A and B are shown apart, each in its own frame.
Chain A
């Protein structure tokens, strides 16, 4: 989770993010950020996601759970 939060902070251009943070609350949360999550999930966690799946998440934790579930599958 810690590594994931660091990656998300970089994507969202924030000093730090927390699991319960709502994605729509970040100014930098846009389609490019969603694509960045897709790229990050692949490069850092070996998990393939679609932009649609990423955009379905509401919080940072939701994204983490999506990645964790795919990794476990």
Chain B
């Protein structure tokens, strides 16, 4: 086998990754860059983005810039402008990976309209607006198009306290299916990755709310244990690269066996 053979390589391709300052988004940005992509990385956490850029600085390639953009994706109307700035700075896009999201435990009794609308805005509406932006000839590079939305197993099964979150992720899965059909003629694939519980800073915040018995019970629901952000990033890379060439409209579950029960 040719030592240079790498079916996951992304040389010459520009990806926009949201939520890139931490967790799954950060791991995804790191992996896609190391696979050869040039990146636009987006987050509202300026320090987090700066630390990502610092981590990659020894590996930076002049031909493949890494361009950070600070943005709050709950401002849905501003997303088209954000994408335009990404294109202006780093060229036409080959793909988008939407990792940014709000995860909040909120039983329906405590749900407030503003609260669930913000969850929907970041988790679902931002994804839709990114997909809409990507569909434009002014944005899309015209080949090898791949949009990946980070969904959740909570979009497929229920969980106490996850009403708004589940709603946002189930909507994302359905939206991705229809969007995949609309964008297939332009050879833009649209898929979701649905992780189970992954050890991210967001997850660790949720974990502090659990007592020891709950922690063990939740971990026992994952035959392979809790996941790592890299597990999800690997799946994203598979869908982003030519390895995902014939995959669209799908939800790739990456959950350590959580849904197999």
With CB as the reference atom, state the residue of chain B lying closest to A49: B209
Q: Is A32 an interface residue (CB 8 A)?
A: yes
With A11-B110, A39-B161, A43-B110 given, can you name 9 additional A-B contacts, CB distance below 8 Å? A7-B110, A32-B109, A38-B105, A39-B105, A39-B110, A50-B210, A50-B211, A51-B210, A51-B214
Q: Is B174 an interface residue (CB 8 A)?
A: no
For chain B, the bracket of interface size reads: 10 to 19
Interface hits, B174-226 → A, CB 8 Å: 205, 208-211, 214
| Min CB–CB distance A22 → chain B (angstroms) | 19
Q: Is A66 an interface residue (CB 8 A)?
A: no
With CB as the reference atom, state the residue of chain B lying closest to A10: B109
Q: Is A52 an interface residue (CB 8 A)?
A: yes
Cβ–Cβ contact A35 & B104, under 8 A: no
For chain A, the bracket of interface size reads: 10 to 19
Take A43-B104, A43-B115, A48-B205 as given contacts and tell me if A36 and B110 are in contact as well, using a CB distance cutoff of 8 Å.
yes
A-B CB contact pairs (8 Å), 22 listed: A7-B110, A10-B110, A32-B107, A32-B109, A32-B160, A35-B105, A36-B106, A36-B109, A38-B209, A39-B106, A39-B107, A39-B161, A42-B105, A43-B104, A43-B106, A43-B112, A48-B205, A48-B209, A50-B209, A50-B211, A51-B209, A52-B211
Take A35-B161, A48-B205 as given contacts and tell me if A11 and B109 are in contact as well, using a CB distance cutoff of 8 Å.
yes
Interface hits, A21-71 → B, CB 8 Å: 32-33, 35-36, 38-40, 42-43, 48-52
